Amino acid sequence: MTLTLLDWRRRVSALYAGARRASDPESGWRTWRDGRDELFATHPHSPLDEAAREAFRGLPFAPYDPALRFDVVVEPAEAQRLEVPTATDGVVPFDRIGAVQLGDVGRLDVWWLGSYGGGVFLPLRDGSAGGTTYGGGRYLLDTVKGADLGGTGGRLVVDLNFAYHPSCTYDPRWSCPLAPEGNRLATQVAAGEQLPPGGYY
């Protein structure tokens, strides 16, 4: 780990803080998207290698859909421990702390990173996975890394327009926790980050 990773995480956190403060959700999303493109294109900790950064012209996203933003109660769910083996971080534990119902889209389990630092983790693998989005799914929230849209009083803001691909989408050297069974939906979520034609590698 290096200070470039610390800088990456600070800048990601700042992008989400800006989205939370924005006058409206769509303008916050646009600022977040622009900042994400800049990080991918220029930051030394970008998941893109040097050659890919030189060719990079921006991450493809579906248009913003305000109907896919939810402010939801985290509902109780039976406790469950998930242990995810990774190539770089060993076994990463997650504990299910509840679930959220996202309108007609479906219900997703909410996880807490059970190692030092903790944080809410909300992955999604929807019906677009393996087609227009990465086959392993996308992330909605990963608060230990700053991906947090807010919420108060037992609620979370979950905006499907902010769905983004994990680092392993761009380079096989990365190892990422993927969506478990309770975070897989048959519904196609036509929002958030998309794959470019031909994928990334």
pTM of the model as a whole: 0.94
- The answer to whether 120 and 183 are in contact (CB under 8 A) is no
Residue 87 pLDDT: 65
> Where do the domains of the chain lie?
61-183
Q: Read off the tokens for 196.
A: 């470019």
The confidence band for 196, taking pLDDT boundaries of 50, 70 and 90, is: confident
pLDDT at 29 over 90: yes
pLDDT in tens, 87-119: 667 788 999 999 999 999 999 999 999 988 899
pLDDT at 187 over 90: yes
- Rounded percentage of the chain residues whose pLDDT exceeds 70: 96
Distances (CA, A) of 150 to 13, 78, 93, 155, 196: 12, 24, 23, 8, 29
pLDDT at 1 over 60: no
Residue 93 pLDDT: 94
pLDDT at 201 over 60: no
Three-class SS of residue 184?
A: strand
